[in-house]
Amino acid sequence: MASGSFGRHLVACLLNVSEARRKDLVETVAKAALYNTEGVKREGATVLNIFNDHDYNRSVITIVSSIHSIGEAVLSACEKACGLIDMQAHAGVHPCMGAVDLIPIYPLGEEVGVQDCARVARAVARGLTERVPGTSAFLFGWADSPLQRGLAHRRREMGWFKKTADLQAIRPDMGSTPQRHYGLTGVGASPYVMNCNVTIDTQDITLGSSIAQAIRESTPGGLPGVQVLALPHEGAVEIACNVESVKGDPPRHLASEPWPCFSIDGQPYCHVPASLITARVTELAETKGVGMKGTALVGFTPLECRGLAEFALSQGIGEFWKEQHRIRM
């Protein structure tokens, strides 16, 4: 697929919103990234995918645009989400703190640098708290200057993993003390993060948690870049993984199959293949006599995301999520 003019300066935002059971509402949020308030289409923006999870009551909207215009597209979607989603009425098994829970900005090519993404992420966080009074945000990754603390680290600090967080005790990086209606939003920039969910055929959440612990990056022998939770899901247990891209080459002992690789600012990055995560979870589950139910990749790999975005933009397709099923790349 030729990159052409649409391949330059592309970035992705995998916008996480705390709603999935009202799919029309989520599509309305997605369309706000593509059209201004007068209904005029924004040039050079596309929504590649909308992933809804009913049990989690969470959706991931994949927005791609140039680094120069991604901020306005994302902010418009966030404004719409904040007007439609009330965290006081939210229920779901996946941890969340905000109506707009997460705004990560990822570069999709060598043309976009670390500081570019950090600048846009900080501008988005500032813009959200100014446009929607009562919203608040914390920063992570490259946007969290100078510490550059990772998302998992910042989420722990903010109480994201707790059943009920004390919003009044949180000190956000931008905005006011979090309000119950909007909650708290994480905004940051980093190398691309995939979401890979592996479902095992059991309702034993303790077993699922032991598998999650075994493959987590922080565990000796765990998989690089993998942050993971075990969650009840559709009568089974889902091993829900955030797969962060890591700097450098794949570890030799894990490189029995190719790892997808790319570069940012001249630095090499790679990420664990979904097939390796699936194989490791399968192996650990089988030792306990538990079988597999399936694997779902939420969205795309970084290379897939860039390739599909280039195609969608070259064809002028904004609502690409509606076209996916009929397009064979």
Per-residue pLDDT reduced to its tens digit, 199-237: 999 999 999 999 999 999 999 999 999 999 999 999 999
What pLDDT shows up at residue 2? Answer: 39
Instruction: Map out the domains of the chain with their CATH numbers.
Output: 8-191+302-326 (3.30.990.10), 193-298 (3.30.70.670)
Return the residue matching tokens 């399968």.
282
Q: What is the distance, to the nearest Å, from the Cα of residue 216 to the centroid of all Cα atoms in its chain?
A: 18
Give mean pLDDT, residues 319-325.
88
What pLDDT shows up at residue 3? Answer: 42
pLDDT confidence band for 256 (50 / 70 / 90): confident
Give mean pLDDT, residues 265-285.
95
**Is the confidence at residue 49, as pLDDT, over 80?**
yes
Q: Which residues contact 236 (CB under 8 A, 6 or more apart)?
A: 199, 200, 201, 202, 203, 293
Pair 8, 66: CB distance under 8 Å? yes
Q: What are the pLDDT digits (tens) for 56-65? A: 999 999 999 9
**Is the confidence at residue 1, as pLDDT, over 50?**
no
**Is the confidence at residue 258, as pLDDT, over 80?**
yes
Alpha carbons 18 and 219: distance in angstroms, whole number:
29
Alpha carbons 263 and 169: distance in angstroms, whole number:
39
Give mean pLDDT, residues 31-49.
95
Looking at residue 241, its amino acid is C
pLDDT confidence band for 277 (50 / 70 / 90): very high
Give mean pLDDT, residues 160-173.
86
Is pTM beyond 0.85? Reply is yes
What pLDDT shows up at residue 255? Answer: 85
**Is the confidence at residue 329, as pLDDT, over 50?**
no
| Element at 29 (helix H, strand E) | helix 23-34
Report the first-to-last Cα separation within the chain, whole angstroms. Answer: 9
Q: What proportion of the chain, given as a percentage, has pLDDT over 90? A: 86
Structural tokens at position 32: 């706000």
pLDDT top residue among 30 and 298: 30
Q: Could you give the angle at which helices 114-131 and 70-84 cross, rounded to 10 degrees? A: 40
What pLDDT shows up at residue 4? Answer: 46
What's the mean per-residue pLDDT of the chain?
A: 93
Q: What are the pLDDT digits (tens) for 121-144? A: 999 999 999 999 999 999 999 999
Q: What is the distance, to the nearest Å, from the Cα of residue 274 to the centroid of all Cα atoms in its chain?
A: 16
Q: What is the distance, to the nearest Å, from the Cα of residue 222 to the centroid of all Cα atoms in its chain?
A: 21
